């Protein structure tokens, strides 16, 4: 069996185990324990030669001793839980079958995040077989509840702090290799997340007089909540260009031709203009430059002809760099302008700091790309979703979010959606990336020895 075929079969077996963290109460811990046992079977050298700790019931932390244990370590992250599947969705292949077909491994978690987890383990297992040892300690941090707030990763990060360990570099999911990320840009780009937006959820609720729907008052609880939601338009938060996006535009200017080159160069030098342009484009470009507001759940009422005495709406916000949770709540209350609406913070995390793109850690990622995706340029990027690495960026100076796998727009749309799949050749490329990265980890400079 070829290495690609072997990796595909191993990923297939991972996908067959339904590690759905949102359904932990219904399914119980058995799928997760079965997954942990499967890793022991698939990667015997990793488990024989690296130390492993169980941190919470759903966290795995491996330590690979390096040549110089006094150096700050590298941390490679991934998660092995997945999101639920809507049974009404029509998948080409069953989501937990792990079908290998047409050059792809199909199934929930193929891209998010069992495929990226697999390429880390494939690289480490193969390097161990060659007798390789890294220049500094390497930790593998795998969480089993990233899709449900990441308590395992939070505890793992706290363990590092408690032990006084500050990672030299942390790499988690986030960006990927893409084609033509913006109009006029030539070639492929490896979008490396230097930072991520904060994830905050609020609940808007109102109370009103219940009664028969035949004689409604001027303002009902449902109407009040609906008006509050309507007032939280896309322009609730001012558009601003983060430094990461400005650096992204600089790179794109160098990878463009004709008018596009001049346009991206202008935007990189005029952040205020870039913010306005991206905001008007809407969608993903707009999300790069402002805090987004997305009502996700509405509740209220028990019957079609009964006025509910209370109603609520759940709103998810992704906070742009420079915003705070407290400031976001203040702005929401000002925009709603209704003392009858209670604004409750359900869960909130601030945006991350932006890691450097001009230091040795980013250069290491760019160097590893030459082994896996030599035609892709490393591009600074702002991740709009939340990752487990948010618990490390509070104390680690260089945190990056990048999965070394090509994900064109068609495949990115399958993440949390229908027909999620990963190209088998990308599993090989991702493994080559991590092998190159681990081999290139720097040791202590000669002057420090």
Residue 207 belongs to a domain with what CATH number?
A: 3.30.70.360
The number of helices, as runs of H, and strands, as runs of E, in the chain is: 15, 17
Q: Are residues 134 and 238 in the same domain?
A: no
Characterise 419 by phi-psi region: left (phi > 0), alpha (psi -120 to 50), beta (else). left
Q: Are residues 338 and 417 in the same domain?
A: no
Contact in structure between 269 and 249 (CB atoms under 8 Å): no
DSSP 107: S
Final residue before a domain boundary, out of 301, 325, 348: 348
- Residue 4: its pLDDT value, please? 74
Q: Are residues 153 and 10 in the same domain?
A: yes
Q: Are residues 246 and 214 in the same domain?
A: yes
Final residue before a domain boundary, out of 348, 380, 403: 348
CA distance 178 to 365: 16
Q: Are residues 218 and 168 in the same domain?
A: no
Q: Are residues 209 and 330 in the same domain?
A: yes
Q: Which of 112, 78, 108 is nearest to 96 (CA)?
A: 108
Q: Are residues 187 and 227 in the same domain?
A: no
Final residue before a domain boundary, out of 322, 348, 374: 348
Work out how many domains the chain is built from and give that number: 2
Report which secondary-structure segment, H or E, holds 381: strand 376-383
- Residue 1: its pLDDT value, please? 46
- Residue 344: its pLDDT value, please? 97
CA distance 217 to 205: 18
Q: Which two tokens stand for residue 74?
A: 């590298």
pLDDT tens string, the chain, 449 residues long: the values are 457 789 999 999 999 999 999 999 999 999 999 999 999 999 999 999 999 999 999 999 999 999 999 999 999 999 999 999 998 999 999 999 999 999 999 999 999 999 999 999 999 999 999 999 999 999 999 999 999 988 999 999 999 999 999 999 999 999 999 997 788 899 999 999 999 999 999 999 999 888 888 888 888 999 999 999 999 998 899 999 999 999 999 999 999 989 999 999 999 999 999 999 999 999 889 999 999 999 999 999 989 999 999 999 999 999 999 999 999 999 999 999 999 999 999 999 899 999 999 999 999 999 999 999 999 999 999 999 889 999 999 899 999 999 999 999 999 999 999 999 999 999 999 999 999 999 999 998 755 55
- Residue 5: its pLDDT value, please? 85
Q: Are residues 185 and 215 in the same domain?
A: no
Q: Are residues 141 and 51 in the same domain?
A: yes
Contact in structure between 85 and 418 (CB atoms under 8 Å): no
- Write the CATH number for 436: 3.40.630.10
DSSP 339: T
Contact in structure between 175 and 112 (CB atoms under 8 Å): no
Q: Are residues 294 and 336 in the same domain?
A: yes
Q: Are residues 294 and 222 in the same domain?
A: yes
- Residue 180: its pLDDT value, please? 76
- Residue 215: its pLDDT value, please? 84
Q: Residue 163 belongs to what domain range?
A: 3-195+352-448
For 350-423, where are the alpha helices, taking DSSP H only?
Answer: 360-372, 409-412
Radius of gyration of the chain (CA): 23
């Amino acid at each position: 069996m070829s290495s690609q075929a072997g990796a595909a079969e191993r990923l297939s077996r991972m996908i067959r185990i339904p590690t759905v963290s949102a359904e932990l109460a219904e399914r119980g811990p058995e799928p997760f324990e079965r997954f942990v046992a499967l890793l022991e079977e698939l990667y015997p050298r990793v488990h024989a030669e690296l130390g492993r700790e169980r941190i919470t019931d759903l966290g795995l932390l491996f330590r690979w001793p390096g040549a110089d244990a006094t150096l700050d370590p590298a941390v490679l992250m991934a998660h092995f839980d997945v999101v639920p599947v809507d049974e009404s969705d029509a998948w080409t292949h069953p989501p937990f079958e792990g079908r290998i077909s047409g050059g792809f491994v199909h199934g929930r978690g193929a891209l998010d995040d069992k495929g990226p987890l697999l390429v880390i383990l494939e690289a480490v297992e193969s390097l161990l077989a060659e007798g390789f040892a890294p220049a500094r300690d390497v930790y593998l941090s795998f969480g089993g509840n990233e899709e449900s707030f990441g308590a395992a990763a939070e505890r793992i990060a706290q363990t590092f702090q408690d032990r006084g360990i500050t990672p030299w570099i942390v790499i988690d999911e986030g960006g990927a290799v893409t084609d033509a990320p913006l109009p006029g840009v030539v070639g492929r780009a490896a979008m490396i997340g230097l930072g991520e937006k904060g994830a905050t959820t609020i609940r808007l609720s109102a109370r009103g007089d219940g009664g028969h729907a035949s004689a409604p008052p001027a303002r009902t609880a449902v109407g009040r909540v609906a008006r509050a939601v309507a007032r939280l338009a896309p322009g609730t938060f001012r558009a601003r260009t983060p430094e990461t996006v400005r650096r992204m535009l600089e790179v794109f200017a160098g990878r463009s031709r004709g008018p596009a080159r001049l346009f991206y160069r202008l935007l990189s030098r005029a952040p205020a203009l870039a913010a306005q342009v991206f905001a008007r484009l809407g969608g993903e470009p707009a999300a790069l430059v402002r805090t987004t507001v997305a009502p996700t759940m509405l509740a209220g009422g028990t019957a079609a002809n009964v006025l509910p005495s209370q109603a609520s709406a759940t709103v998810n916000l992704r906070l742009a760099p420079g915003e705070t949770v407290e400031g976001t709540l203040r702005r929401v209350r000002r925009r709603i302008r209704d003392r009858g609406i209670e604004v409750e913070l359900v869960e909130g995390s601030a945006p991350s700091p932006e890691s450097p793109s001009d230091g040795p850690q980013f250069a290491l990622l760019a160097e590893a790309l030459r082994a896996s995706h030599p035609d892709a340029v490393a591009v600074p990027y702002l991740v709009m979703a939340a990752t487990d690495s948010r618990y490390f960026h509070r104390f680690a100076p260089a945190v990056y979010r990048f999965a070394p796998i090509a994900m064109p727009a068609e495949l990115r749309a399958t993440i949390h959606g229908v027909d999620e799949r990963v190209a088998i050749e990308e599993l090989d490329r991702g493994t080559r990336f991590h092998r190159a990265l681990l081999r290139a980890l720097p040791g202590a400079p000669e002057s420090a020895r």
